[in-house]
Amino acid sequence: MTRMRAAVYYTNRDVRLEDRPIPPIGPGELLMRIERSGICGSDVMEWYRRHRAPLVLGHEVAGTVAAAGAGVQGYRAGDRITAAHHVPCNACRYCRRGRHTMCHTLHTTNFDPGGFVEYTRLSPIHVDRGVFPLPAAVSFDQAVFVEPLACVVRAQRIAPVRGDDTVFVVGSGIIGLLHVKLARAAGARRILASDVSDYRLAAAGRFGADAAFRPDGDLAAQVRDANEGRLPDLVIVCTGAGTAIAQALRCAEPGGTVMLFAPSGPEFALPAMPFNETFFRTDLTVTTSYGAAPADYAEALDLIARGQVRVDDMITHRLGLSDTAEGFRLVAAADDSIKVTLDHSR
């Protein structure tokens, strides 16, 4: 067999199932058969994707080794694996400082041709540090969550959750809900969540939030009401909406942290804050987190394998690769879905 199916992105409303050649592999490389994949919210960010279309997206993958190139050690056909789409050099200034996701190599590595295909090529650098064998207890459905959970793990390493913290998650899509689950596993005292969707607010309650509410009116007052009169110690913003970011910056306790996790479109600028003595005395930390490094993948896989963060209960739609266009519609609508996964055998 030399041909395969590939879901090719043109726009969010134009995702086509096309016939593509199976990528050949060379020495040190793996050919991965994709069994499951997940559609990420970043896959439907048209301002980020559309100028590069057509292209094959997909970076949340689980599958098996279909073939191993010459010199590959430790992997053979049939092994169950997941893989990181971006991998760092582990040698540059950024990597030496633990800032692996700023590494130039990480930003220039990817699957060939992507994840929404039947087969993808993993380069030697991927094989060296970005492939992870799946424990027997971890299903392909669960393994799809390793990449998004790894990103959440990295963010909560930058802005750690302490045992007596109140954590406020702004935006209760799949990433926000993973933040809720990980904060609960980390022992947060109280977890609050907000969203404009009642469907997602209900999900936040099911997945560990002590209170979930719409960001209407005075959001800081709502947060205080749900937290014994105090603002939260950690605010994690999982939406790029400007109004949500502006509100979140006013919702952290003095000495607290605001983690801006989701990107905004190019037209957005951070809202101006009054840099007066009152604000200056808040000792507020505002930070960001981008992506994940191999160590974050390993930790995320371990959390899933040990059952500390359950993920399979977050899948709301299981579609076939042939239904990728419908999957993109569901994720872009951000209405009645949490996690949309694709079965590449269908």
Predicted confidence (pLDDT) per residue in 76-119, tens digit: 999 999 999 999 999 999 999 999 999 999 999 999 999 999 99
In this prediction, residue 208 carries a pLDDT of 97
In this prediction, residue 263 carries a pLDDT of 83
**Residues in Cβ contact with 140 at an 8 Å cutoff, skipping those fewer than 6 apart:** 35, 36, 62, 63, 80, 134
230 vs 283: which has the higher pLDDT: 230
Q: How far is Cα of residue 199 from the mean position of the Cα atoms in its chain?
A: 20
In this prediction, residue 280 carries a pLDDT of 64
- Which among 135, 197, 175 is positioned nearest to 39, based on CA atoms? 175
What is the average pLDDT value for the chain, to the nearest integer?
94
Q: What mean pLDDT is predicted for residues 68-74?
A: 97
Predicted confidence (pLDDT) per residue in 319-336, tens digit: 999 999 999 999 999 989
Q: What mean pLDDT is predicted for residues 204-226?
A: 95
CATH class of the region 3-150+291-343: alpha beta
Predicted confidence (pLDDT) per residue in 2-53, tens digit: 999 999 999 999 999 999 999 999 999 999 999 999 999 999 988 888 888 9
In this prediction, residue 160 carries a pLDDT of 96
In this prediction, residue 275 carries a pLDDT of 59
Percentage of residues of the chain with pLDDT beyond 90: 86
pLDDT over 60 (residue 265): yes
Q: What mean pLDDT is predicted for residues 293-304?
A: 98
Domain ranges within the chain, ordered by starting residue: 3-150+291-343, 160-288
pLDDT over 80 (residue 269): no
In this prediction, residue 282 carries a pLDDT of 74
CATH architecture of the domain with residue range 160-288: 3-Layer(aba) Sandwich (3.40)
